[in-house]
Amino acid sequence: MTKADIVNEISKNTGIEKVTVQKAVEAFMDTVSGSLSEGNNVYLRGFGSFIVKKRAEKTARNISRNTTIIIPEHKIPSFKPAKTFVGRVKNNVK
């Protein structure tokens, strides 16, 4: 499902114009990404959590050059679904 599909589905279910729904969806995504970039987690009860994970520094191999490289410590965004969300997906419930 794409962002356009989400906008169409929300518009169809609520009767709100697609342009308004698209602005709301984009504002939601901007808010979540902005919060994560500041290091803050976003918790949506019953849906899941958008969290920032810290990856430790590690040593890796460049196979083509046969050299060792160090990957520095960094942060990545992650999503952890709520138990109810996982249950709905597992049981294929709408």
For 11-45, write each residue's pLDDT tens digit. Answer: 999 999 999 999 999 999 999 999 999 999 999 99
Give start and end residues of each alpha helix (H) in 1-94: 3-14, 18-37, 83-91
pTM above 0.85, yes or no: no
pLDDT of residue 91: 86
Tell me how far apart the alpha carbons of residues 94 and 88 are, in angstroms, rounded to a whole number.
7
Could you name the CATH architecture of 41-94?
A: Irregular (4.10)
Tell me how far apart the alpha carbons of residues 16 and 12 are, in angstroms, rounded to a whole number.
8
pLDDT of residue 92: 79
For 48-83, write each residue's pLDDT tens digit. Answer: 999 999 999 999 998 888 899 999 999 999 999 999
Tell me how far apart the alpha carbons of residues 79 and 52 are, in angstroms, rounded to a whole number.
9
